[in-house]
Chains A and B, each alone.
Chain A
């Protein structure tokens, strides 16, 4: 069965650089979520999109932005990267805003040096 695809798997950036993470949800899933997991922490909600419109927002820094495109894939853009942005970034997708549960991608490990 198709899963949630994230790219890249690993990313190393320098401080103040920009990073773009991509997420391809399960076909026919209409909702995409982004989570950030710092070292030793639980995943924290950043932002979600339902039918290509932003539906909810968590503790996402102003330096971060995201969007969902017409083909339902989503991108998380992070600018002016800081050391503290080093984390695992997960994308998840669901049908009907979580009604049948969420499926998570394998994550992107971002390291800022």
Chain B
């Protein structure tokens, strides 16, 4: 099946700092999503971004499908941004039909 690698595994920031999270995947994908899992365990969908660039407030994401990576940018980080950020991909066809495969996540801690 498709492999998803996220980096860095852990990241500690001071409030107000910017950060970039990376997601590499091993094959072409039909779907890529970024999620934020908050301390209560909820998985919040941030972006559906199989290709291109999107922005939502302080967050933006870029997926370069031909080079098999995606980046999540967090600007002016706040303590409420803390949690685990997951990249998940889906590839149709072969042995990976119609299900999201998650990376191991990046644990972000934003200190006041």
Contacts and interface: CB of A to CB of B under 8 A. Distances in A.
Interface stretch (A11-19, A42-50, A61-69, A71-79): A42-50
Contacts of B105: 42
A111 interface: no
For the complex of A and B, the 5 pairs showing the least CB-CB separation, nearest first, are: A101-B48, A42-B102, A104-B43, A97-B98, A45-B99
Interface residues of B, number: 21
Contact of A102 (B30, B42, B45): B45
Interface residues of A, dominant DSSP? strand
Interface of A: 31, 33, 42-45, 48, 50, 55-56, 58, 88, 90, 92, 97-104, 106-107, 109
Contacts of A44: 102
A31 B45 contact: no
Interface of B: 30-31, 33, 35, 41-43, 45, 48, 86, 88, 90, 97-105
B97 A56 contact: yes
Contact of B42 (A33, A58, A92, A107): A107
